[in-house]
Amino acid sequence: MPTICPQGLLAGLRGSPKTVPCSYLYDKKGSELYEQITELEEYYPFRAEQAILEKNADDIVSHVPKGSVIVELGCGTARKTGLLLSALIKRDGASKFAGIDVSASFLEEAKTNLMSLVTGLKAEDIDLVEAEYITGLQKVRQLHPTENLCIMWLGSSVGNLTNDGAAQFFKDMLVAAGQKSQVFLCTDLWKDKKVLHAAYHDSRGVTEEFILNGLRNALLSLGLAPERLDAAMKNWVYEVVVSAKMRRVEMWVQFKEGLEVFPGKNGEAIRIAPGERLLMELSRKFTVGDINRLASVSGYYVQAAWRTRQYGVQMLLPMQEALRRCWQDTDDFFLKQVKDWSVQPISMRHPFLFYYGHVNSFTKIKALPHVTPSPDDVTFSRGIDPVVLDPSKCHSHPEVPPQWPSREEVMRYVAHTREAVMEAVEAHKCSPRMLQMGLEHERMHQETLMYMLTQAKRLEWERDPPAELPRAVALARDWAKKWVRPDVRVLAGRVTLGVSEDDAGAFVWDNEGPPLETSVPLDFMVASDPVTVGQWRNFIVERKGYEMDQWWDATDLAFFRANGLSQPATWSHVKGDFYVHRPDGVFHWTQVAHEPVLVSLSEALAFCKSLGYRIMSEAEYQRVADTDVQNRVRCLKEAGWEWTSSRFAPFPGFKPMPEYPEYSTDFFDDCHFVLRGSSSVTHPAMKRDSFRNYYQKQYPYMFAKFRLCSSVHSVAGG
């Protein structure tokens, strides 16, 4: 059994209620019992966590820089740790591991298992640190003074701490590991009370035996004679309480008869009264808001998350590290992908060069409100989103200069601006909320820049097509008719749109709240898949979709014809065939025939009308997302923003954010419509269920998809 300081135990047994440190649960027998618990049908957390790691290991390690040291807090069998180490070795050819535990035997067992499970892991790349967690992190940092530390805390062990205790632990962890670190945090999510109760009070009684064994260890360590202890155990009763108010599971042991323990030779007696209960373990369950709040108050930022309805794992970065990585991504885009910064591939947006200055100007102005903006700050402070049908109409923005600064001048401006922001962050002079706003704003523009780059590359490709074009691939004979009807029934019911910032636990944009309780009054049908590239090509070629006036809104049709638009903005028509441009390359349409087609809302509405269908409203989208049918509705939240038929408008009780009041209010104009979900280039930090994107219906450049929908009483065909 691990050597444990009895002072923590004595303090717990003299408190009210009496408690026992959870460390006493994990002697040799306790560890064996815990392994049995993980295999119980009722105990879902272990399997839920492992399933997420198995499914997403490669994506998870994509957020771990090469050369990082994987640090595990508390070493078990190392099966789950091995999944991520294997993914890192597959990517980098090598990986370093440091295990921290109070038990030398657990550390050695973890090392043995890892050497067996992880092909390519070398013994010299494993450090074993026998210590408490924070002390252990300090030692690991001494061993690896310059490497990034990726700290893994598995098993939802953070749930054993109170809110305040968890926040303090994360602050201590940040001090010990430093800014060049990150935390991979696994958390069990709040769910049905019956499911939680069964998970901790299993039908075979293994969890009860585990808890009682821990209490036995604790009392033995205080000198209670084994024969007295064995007699007392017959009168212990195991109880599980699920507290909805505290969102936690409490594991208690009640003493039917009293017990008196004298620790040491001259220790003050510890008396447990008849009927008194001892709290053996807490297991807090989390909402997404709880996780965000913990990160925010502790100096971290949730960089990415992989969640199911049962369980969540997330990657947390210290705020300074989050800023550095965001800036690096922006630099990589401009320095590695944009050849000519002066290019303006979309007339309704500024040239590329502007946005390099803009994302940094925005962060500085919002994060340093006490600093008077410079002329360059003002020039780069806001972009443009004119009315598509009349570009002379646009929201307020700085006057466009006769000549934009040079690339070198903008780079100097950005370097100076970032230096000012980072100095303020290091001096704790910035609001975490404003830094979160700055990060989200820059991540959104990284996506905007990606669809601008796609247009720039398309135009260049069309001016000088390659000698060898992408080749067609064979398609199944029935490809054109696949998934052309709404085939999933969604029942009417209540939905909640939006979220409060308090419930979100971190920064959200003003249009995401306040929460709106509403309903979908009628059942409806929705397609299990979005409309595809192949189906859209059929719409153009076979059905002459852009020529059929009756399918189009008259204003939209006039706009498309006036601008010579007869195919999606990401498509090219060269030598009698269609080619699709994406961030990852150019493809013959047959190569991506079954992928979602990315189009404007105007085009999507025409396609739907041609078949007698429609597009989901925002409330209907939420209804699909909230119910089990989402498992049958593919690509709802990814592979392209999902168009809805709902105009972008405030929820009742909306209040503009004081720091950026124009963010939403300028676009509550009846021209913009709501999109939900994400695209293939949306940063993971931006993927949350309450986020509302918005674009004008005729704007064709963003990465947006749609699917067919119909009311139940009017299922049509085509």
DSSP string, 181-238: EEEEEEEEBP--HHHHHHHHS-TT-HHHHHHHHHHHHHHHHTT--HHHHHHHHTTEEE
| Cα–Cα dist 420/404, whole Å | 23
Q: What is the pTM of this model?
A: 0.93
Q: Are 114 and 85 in contact (CB under 8 A)?
A: yes
Please determine, for residue 482, whether its predicted confidence score (pLDDT) is greater than 70. Answer: no
What 3-state DSSP class applies to 692?
coil
Strand (E) or helix (H) holding 647 = strand 641-647
Helical ranges in 43-96 per DSSP H: 45-61, 79-92
| pLDDT value, residue 75 | 82
Strand (E) or helix (H) holding 621 = helix 618-626
| Cα–Cα dist 472/577, whole Å | 10
pLDDT digits (tens, 9 = 90+) for 77-102: 788 999 999 999 999 999 999 999 88
| Cα–Cα dist 546/500, whole Å | 42
Q: Are 669 and 393 in contact (CB under 8 A)?
A: no
| Cα–Cα dist 72/75, whole Å | 7
| Cα–Cα dist 532/612, whole Å | 17
Closest to 642 in 3D by CA, of 607, 606, 589, 597: 597
pLDDT digits (tens, 9 = 90+) for 601-614: 999 999 999 999 99
Our measurement of the distance from residue 457's CA atom to the centroid of its chain's CA atoms, rounded to an integer in Å, reads 30
Read off the pLDDT of each residue in 527-536 and give the average, rounded to a whole number.
96
pLDDT digits (tens, 9 = 90+) for 182-192: 999 999 999 99
Please determine, for residue 715, whether its predicted confidence score (pLDDT) is greater than 50. Answer: no
Please determine, for residue 502, whether its predicted confidence score (pLDDT) is greater than 70. Answer: yes
Percentage of the chain lying above the pLDDT 70 cut: 97
What 3-state DSSP class applies to 9?
helix
pLDDT digits (tens, 9 = 90+) for 649-673: 999 999 999 999 999 999 999 999 9
Residue 266: pLDDT band with limits 50, 70, 90: low
Superfamily of domain 465-714: paralog of FGE (formylglycine-generating enzyme) (3.90.1580.10)
What DSSP assignment string belongs to 155-180?
TTGGGGS-HHHHHHHHHHHHHHH-SS
Burial class (CB in 10 A: 0-12, 13-18, 19+), 115: middle
| pLDDT value, residue 22 | 84
Q: What are phi and psi of 405, to 5 degrees?
A: -60, 160
Q: Which residues are CB-contacts of 529 (< 8 A; sequence separation ≥ 6)?
A: 483, 596, 634, 635, 707
Contacts of residues 425-428 at CB distance under 8 Å and 24 or more positions apart, as own/partner, are 425/319, 425/320, 425/323, 425/367, 426/320
Read off the pLDDT of each residue in 101-109 and give the average, rounded to a whole number.
87
Fold of the domain spanning 42-190+287-318: Rossmann fold (3.40.50)
Which residues pair with residue 318 across a beta bridge?
Answer: 300
Closest to 504 in 3D by CA, of 439, 443, 436, 447: 436
| pLDDT value, residue 55 | 97
Q: Which residues are CB-contacts of 502 (< 8 A; sequence separation ≥ 6)?
A: 289
Read off the pLDDT of each residue in 236-260 and give the average, rounded to a whole number.
95
Q: Are 99 and 126 in contact (CB under 8 A)?
A: yes
| pLDDT value, residue 478 | 67
**What's the first-to-final CA gap in the chain, in angstroms?**
71
| Cα–Cα dist 152/298, whole Å | 17
Q: Which residues are CB-contacts of 491 (< 8 A; sequence separation ≥ 6)?
A: 523, 627
pLDDT digits (tens, 9 = 90+) for 688-713: 999 999 999 999 999 999 999 999 97
Closest to 632 in 3D by CA, of 525, 535, 492, 532: 525
Number of CB atoms found within 10 A of residue 556's CB: 20
What DSSP assignment string belongs to 248-271?
EEEEEEEESS-EEE--TTTPPPEE
What DSSP assignment string belongs to 334-385?
HHHT-S-TT--SSTTS--HHHHHHHHHHHHHHHH-TTSPPPHHHHHTS----
Q: Percent helix, strand and coil across the chain, each rounded to 5?
A: 45, 20, 40
Q: Are 486 and 641 in contact (CB under 8 A)?
A: no
Mean pLDDT of the chain: 94
Please determine, for residue 317, whether its predicted confidence score (pLDDT) is greater than 70. Answer: yes
Instruction: Provide the residue ranges of all domains of the chain, joining segments of one domain with +.
Output: 6-28+194-284, 42-190+287-318, 337-455, 465-714
The answer to whether the 42-190+287-318 and 465-714 domains have the same CATH topology is no
Please determine, for residue 480, whether its predicted confidence score (pLDDT) is greater than 80. Answer: no
Q: Are 305 and 314 in contact (CB under 8 A)?
A: yes
Q: Which residue has the tokens 């979309």?
A: 346
| pLDDT value, residue 1 | 42
What 3-state DSSP class applies to 139?
helix
Please determine, for residue 626, whether its predicted confidence score (pLDDT) is greater than 50. Answer: yes
pLDDT digits (tens, 9 = 90+) for 423-458: 999 999 999 999 999 999 999 999 999 999 999 999
DSSP state of 590: G
| pLDDT value, residue 630 | 82
Structure tokens at 398: 């700085």
Please determine, for residue 595, whether its predicted confidence score (pLDDT) is greater than 50. Answer: yes
Which residues pair with residue 187 across a beta bridge?
Answer: 312
Structure tokens at 566: 């007869």
Burial class (CB in 10 A: 0-12, 13-18, 19+), 199: buried
CA angle 42, 45, 49 (to 5 degrees): 140
Please determine, for residue 489, whether its predicted confidence score (pLDDT) is greater than 60. Answer: yes
